[in-house]
Structure 1
Amino acid sequence: MRLIQITDAHLYADKQARSRAGVPWRHLQRVLQAVIMEQPDLVVFSGDISQDETATSYTLAYEAMSQLPCPWVWLAGNHDQPALMLETHPLHEEVALPPWRMLLLHTQVEGEPHGELGQEALASLSAKLKGDERPTLIVMHHPPVDVGAAWMDAIGLQDRDAFWDILSAHPQVKVILFGHAHQAYAQHHRVGEHDVAVYGCPAISDQFMPGAKHFMIDEASRPGYRIVDLKDQQWDTWIERVTV
């Protein structure tokens, strides 16, 4: 089972609109061309699809994603409008990836750059994990860990302690994928008596400078995507970059 993560396109209604370091629509096209060559079984778009939060930006995203030869799912980031997304394409909470399953968590706090799950979503996550021992991969927009850039760490998942407390009782959770940080990340997070692999992904749009104290663009880096090959209880994962 080959899963590919893409993230943080920050599209505008205008295909020619520029971000700080390029044209998001052009970047998305190049990334998807490369993704198609990887022959994925599923693509997950982990938030910040839009920058201007317009219905047209989601229509453009749908137009681009329709090129894929496989199913795809998306979730909202802090810049997104979930209602507009839902009008364009479903918002899934769970996807079967036999023998794995993938849970998609909504971490958006309306009007805020940081993320939270909240008590209701945390309770729902706990309930979903109880009694289901399938190896589980979680996708969320906001990082549930510090990535090492002070300004980004301040706007990550705010209720991460409660999140990790739930996971401590569920060793079937093997992998977490996140967006938002606009950079590659890979660490094993110790929780309870087991480790969880936590991975970040390069953005489709601008890349952020790793380790920066303040907001800074990494102009030397390139857009990319993450490949995750799922096996029975194991996985392989790596980052690929594209030239735009």
Structure 2
Amino acid sequence: MRLVQITDCHLHADPAARSRAGFPLRQLEAVVAAVGRERPDLVVVTGDISQDETDASYRLADQALSRLGCPWFWLTGNHDEPALMAAVREVHDEIELDGWRLLVLDTRVSGQPHGELGPERLAELVERLEQDPRPTLLAMHHPPLAIGSAWLDEIGLIDRDAFWQTLAAYPQVKAVLCGHIHQAFASHQRQAEGKVLVYGCPSTTDQFLPGSAEFAIDEASRPGYRVLDLYEDEWVTWVERVDL
């Protein structure tokens, strides 16, 4: 099964709006066209669909993403307005992946750039993992690991230690897909029964400069997406970039 991750579209109500380094809608449309050529079975968009939290921005995203030619799902990021998103298209909390599960975690904290799951959401995650031992992917907006950029690490998942403690008893969790960081990223967290891989993804709009202590745009990098080919109990993944 082929799963593709898209993330951080940051659309405005104005389809011609600019970002710091480009045009978000035009770039999303280019990424969607490239992803379609990958012939994915399913696409997940890991948050920050909107920049200005408007109904019109979500409708533009829905129109663009509906050209993928396959089922697609989205989740909220810190820039998103959940009620407006859900009014345009449902936000699912679980997705079937032909022998795998994809569990969607809501890390959004209203009005804040950082993410947090909190005791209640972590308890819900335990219940969901107890129900099914199949190989599992988690999708969330905020990264659950430090990525090596001081300013981004300050606004990642702030209860990451509690998150990893929660996962310690559930070796069926194989990998985490996250958004928020606007760059290709791959690392892992060692657990008692192995390790969990953590993957970040280029944005469809501006890219952040890896390793920068302060906010910085990577003007030499291009939008992109992540491909995951899932097999019975293993996977292969890589990042593709899109020429504009």
Per the shorter chain, which TM-score range? over 0.9
| Alpha-carbon distance between aligned partners in 2 of 1:191 and 1:114, rounded to the nearest angstrom | 24
Q: Structure 1 runs of 4+ off > 6 angstroms?
A: none
Matches within 5 A, 1:147-186: 147-186=147-186
| Alpha-carbon distance between aligned partners in 2 of 1:66 and 1:100, rounded to the nearest angstrom | 24
Structure 1 residue 193: Cα displacement:
2.6
Work out the number of aligned pairs and report it: 244
TM-score, normalised by the number of residues in structure 2: 0.99
What do you get for the CA RMSD once the two structures are aligned?
0.6
| Alpha-carbon distance between aligned partners in 2 of 1:111 and 1:66, rounded to the nearest angstrom | 29
Aligned residues with identical type, % of pairs: 60
SS in 1 for 2:203: coil
Structure 1 residue 161: Cα displacement:
0.8
Q: 2:237 maps to which residue?
A: 237
| Alpha-carbon distance between aligned partners in 2 of 1:139 and 1:70, rounded to the nearest angstrom | 18
Structure 1 residue 196: Cα displacement:
0.5
Structure 1 residue 192: Cα displacement:
2.0
SS in 1 for 2:237: strand
Structure 1 residue 208: Cα displacement:
0.2
Deviations 1:145-171 (A, max 9, x none): 001000000000011111100111110
Q: 2:68 maps to which residue?
A: 68
Structure 1 residue 118: Cα displacement:
1.3
Structure 1 residue 236: Cα displacement:
0.3
Structure 1 residue 131: Cα displacement:
4.0
TM-score, normalised by the number of residues in structure 1: 0.99
Matches within 5 A, 1:123-202: 123-202=123-202
Runs (5+) with no aligned partner, structure 2 = none
| Alpha-carbon distance between aligned partners in 2 of 1:127 and 1:148, rounded to the nearest angstrom | 32
Matches within 5 A, 1:207-226: 207-226=207-226
SS in 2 for 1:228: strand
For 1:189, give the aligned amino acid.
Answer: Q
Matches within 5 A, 1:34-49: 34-49=34-49
| Alpha-carbon distance between aligned partners in 2 of 1:99 and 1:59, rounded to the nearest angstrom | 32
For 1:113, give the aligned amino acid.
Answer: P
Matches within 5 A, 1:73-88: 73-88=73-88
| Alpha-carbon distance between aligned partners in 2 of 1:22 and 1:96, rounded to the nearest angstrom | 35
Q: 2:18 maps to which residue?
A: 18
For 1:11, give the aligned amino acid.
Answer: L
Runs (5+) with no aligned partner, structure 1 = none
Q: 1:106 maps to which residue?
A: 106
| Alpha-carbon distance between aligned partners in 2 of 1:15 and 1:98, rounded to the nearest angstrom | 36
| Alpha-carbon distance between aligned partners in 2 of 1:132 and 1:66, rounded to the nearest angstrom | 31
